[in-house]
Chain A
Amino acid sequence: MGLNPVSLSHVLYAIQKSHFAHRLAESNHMLVACLQIVHVFGFIFLLSPLLLIVLRVFGLILRDQPLQEVLRQPRTVSLTGLAVTLASGLMMFLTAPLHYYNNWAFDVKMLLLLASLVIYAALFVEIIPRQSAHPRLAKVAVVVAVVSWLSVCMAARAIGFVA
């Protein structure tokens, strides 16, 4: 059973008219700027530890350090970045849900985000812990994970430029 687009638009309309969303949207436009800044920092701290992990998995840096040791703190930083990115993104969405609903770049971003989250979870839960048994799979997976997040970023930048 799929989602009825009419009822979904009604739900989004109700969200947009809710007290919380109304307060967000009506507040100083600098609040949206602040949310964007937080969103960018969340993305930076999501992606840069992932890049560090890519370099380590490919043996380009810290070769003498055990992967699982190197992984621990970057994974925590990256997960924190992900949480900040998702929370600030949700807040931005709440300021104008109908605007985002009618934007095809936002739909693409959401699909890519879903795929990226699945790949990200698989990477840290299944693939990296078994890296020594499947080194090639780990290499492919870290590259796919980074590319998936880059594609989310590109789709996100397009949101403000398409109708």
Chain B
Amino acid sequence: MEATRVGSAIAEGRYAFPIIEGIHLIGLAGAVGLLMLIDLRLMGLFLTQVPPRQLHRQLLPYVLGGFGLVILAGVVLLSSEATTVFASPPWPFKMAFIVLGGANALYFEFVSSRRPDALPSTGRLPVSVRGAGAASFVLWILVIVCGRLIPYITTWG
């Protein structure tokens, strides 16, 4: 990956890496930040006057757009230092938490949220919905923590 034209251009360019890293962080704030706001609503801790289905449906396109930016910038960053990243212990954990976060989101989207009375407009939400929100919130926190630890924990030893 590092030998590709994109990978070597970023590794050799002086400002390419911080610019793309900045875009990665901005995408995170948009995608994960907005997703965490939806999670807080599912947990009944944020914008409780707004029907959860409305907030979820209306923010989802922006969350997905942000994730597109994060993934694109992340892959480009990875291509410039793949050897270092793959050797770093937090990397597999980050990937595992992304997979779990994605699976939790897909299960909520296609199973939990489609059950009758899963997302009432007012009042306390079912345990399964609050649990899905809490799991998503914690998993994406862990993704970011592991991502930030990659430059600090470089080997398993």
Contact = CB atoms under 8 A, between A and B. Distances in A.
A65 B37 contact: no
B105 to A, nearest CB: 17
B26 A150 contact: yes
A74 B145 CA distance: 23
B4 interface: no
A33 interface: yes
A51 B26 contact: no
A129 interface: no
A125 interface: no
A160 B36 contact: no
A62 B19 contact: no
A127 interface: no
Nearest to A63: B58
Nearest to B30: A51
Interface residues of B, number: 32
A161 B26 CA distance: 18
Interface in B10-48: 14-15, 17-19, 21-22, 25-26, 28-30, 32-34, 36-37, 46-47
A19 interface: no
A41 B25 CA distance: 10
A51 B37 CA distance: 11
A45 interface: yes
A29 B30 contact: no
Given A37-B145, A52-B37, A160 B49 contact: no
B21 A62 contact: no
Contacts of A61: 55, 58-59
B8 interface: no
A158 B15 contact: yes
Interface of B: 14-15, 17-19, 21-22, 25-26, 28-30, 32-34, 36-37, 46-47, 49-50, 54-55, 58-59, 62, 141, 144-145, 148-149, 152
17 contacts: A33-B149, A37-B144, A37-B148, A40-B144, A40-B148, A44-B33, A45-B33, A48-B34, A51-B62, A52-B34, A55-B59, A69-B49, A74-B47, A77-B37, A153-B22, A158-B22, A161-B18
